[in-house]
Amino acid sequence: MPARSNRSLVWVATATVAALGFMVTVDLTAEAPVGSGNTSYIDLRTQVSEQAQEHILLEQQISKLEAQLAEYRAASGSQKELRQVLARDERQLAAEAGLTPVTGPGITITIQPDAKLGASPAQMALFPQQADQWLDEVVNVLFGNGATAIAINGQRLVGTSSIRLVQVNGIGSVHVNGRPIEEPYVIQAVGNVQQMETGLSVNVLQGYFEAMGEDFIVRAYPSSDGLTVPAYTGPLPGQYAKEGNG
Amino acid sequence: MYWLPVLGLAVGIGLGLVTNVVIPVAFTSYLSIAILAALDTVVGGIRASLDKTFDSAVFLSGFFTNTLVAALLAYIGNQLGVDLYLAAVVAFGVRLFQNIAVIRRHVFTLIRQRRVARRMASTKD
């Protein structure tokens, strides 16, 4: 009986050891995962955990970048709005500077020699010698009484405009914005019609002009599109003057 | 006859090398725990033989059952997200060391008994 038991033990041990050897060999010769020497379950779990953490970090990075992108897009949008505002400001400044035509209620004043007024030759000779001063006076009265845009014979008056009498030996003419104009002088003024008319009356300009043998015909255009004053077309101050450093 | 287990081991290793069985990477951990279970059964069998309680049917069924159940336990644990793998490692590991300790004591006892027997034989002479 013991001999039989020993024999069975040997055979069983042989079979189990063979199976164990086979399993161990297979396990040892099994290929390791690509890019890693670890095949352990725990190592794999650790790797998965690390990858999950990295995934979370990358997702956070993506959200940060998306927020930054949205910020840039918003900034780009506001830049567009800024450009629109700047363009609107530019248009407004151009209008105020006289670089655009202006339409609105206004008056026209026509100044021209009129023999019927009965002025003496000496009186009539006075205006051609002082035309620039008188035109200047009229313009000042108009600007001081609600005029927002004025032009003389189509020459728009701006901040740098000049009204000069250029004469040599009695020959010459009035220059507005450096350009010669001839009689009749037609002054166009857009603004508060009633106020401008009142200003002219108060300063008795019509009387002075008529005393010098000049008609001073004021016509009112009270409707909203009654009068259009042309834009300034001459050189701008910035053409020569540049911004200084100090 | 005692050389047969050594031959069996050589045959097993040879089969493993020749057949070139490829285990998917995902299943290598299951094979590892199965080997641990098999080792535990073998050591348990040696202990049983030293205790004179060895039963080949129990041993063989224990060997294959423990191996398969250990691998299955690890697989289920992996699917459930519970570390049953570690539970199997701890359980088989503890039993393995206990059996080895018992085997060691048996071996020492056998050695001492032989020495005593030798001394008694020499004193008789």
Query: What secondary structure, in 3-state letters, does B48-107 show?
Result: HHHCCCCCHHHHHHHHHHHHHHHHHHHHHHHHHCCCHHHHHHHHHHHHHHHHHHHHHHHH
Contacts of B67 in chain A (CB under 8 A): 23
Residue B7 CB neighbour total at 10 angstroms: 12
pLDDT of residue A5: 63
Q: Which of A232, A222, A154 is nearest to A190 (CA)?
A: A222
Length of chain A: 246
Say which residue, B124 or A165, is predicted with more confidence: A165
Pairwise CB contact (< 8 Å): A18 & B25: no
pLDDT of residue A218: 92
Please return the burial class of B71, using the count of CB atoms within 10 Å of its CB with bins 0-12, 13-18 and 19+: buried
Q: Which of A227, A238, A242, A243 is nearest to A101 (CA)?
A: A227
Q: How far apart are the first and last CA of chain A?
A: 121
pLDDT of residue A21: 86
Q: Per-10-residue mean pLDDT for chain A, 246 residues long?
A: 65 84 83 55 82 93 89 73 78 84 93 87 86 92 92 90 86 88 92 92 88 91 89 78 70
Question: Quick one: pLDDT band at residue B103, thresholds 50, 70, 90?
Answer: very high
Pairwise CB contact (< 8 Å): B39 & A20: yes
Does residue A21 belong to the interface with chain B, where contact is any CB pair within 8 Å?
yes
Encode pLDDT of B68-99 as tens digits. 888 888 888 888 878 788 888 888 899 999 99
Minimal-distance CA residue of chain A relative to B59: A12
Mean model confidence pLDDT for chain B:
86
The sheet carrying A163-168 orders its strands as: A163-168, A171-176, A179-181
Looking at residue A58, its amino acid is L
Instruction: Read off the pLDDT of each residue in B32-45 and give the average, rounded to a whole number.
Output: 88
Phi/psi class of residue B55: alpha, beta or left (left: φ > 0; alpha: ψ in -120 to 50)? Answer: beta
Pairwise CB contact (< 8 Å): B1 & A6: yes
Contacts of A21 in chain B (CB under 8 A): 8-13, 15-16
Residues whose CB falls within 8 Å of the CB of residue A154, separated by 6 or more in sequence, listed in order: A230
d(CA A148, CA A188): 11
Best of A1, A9, A29, A43 to substitute, by most chain B Cβ atoms within 10 angstroms, is A9
Does residue A17 belong to the interface with chain B, where contact is any CB pair within 8 Å?
yes
Say which residue, B101 or A98, is predicted with more confidence: B101
Question: Quick one: pLDDT band at residue B62, thresholds 50, 70, 90?
Answer: confident
d(CA B59, CA A186): 128
Contacts of B86 in chain A (CB under 8 A): 42
Q: Which of A233, A222, A218 is nearest to A185 (CA)?
A: A218
pLDDT of residue A33: 53
d(CA A38, CA A48): 12
Q: Is the C-alpha dihedral spanning A150, A155, A156, A162 positive or negative? A: negative
d(CA A136, CA A134): 5
Best of B6, B7, B11, B18 to substitute, by most chain A Cβ atoms within 10 angstroms, is B11
Contacts of A26 in chain B (CB under 8 A): 16, 21, 23, 31
pLDDT of residue B24: 77
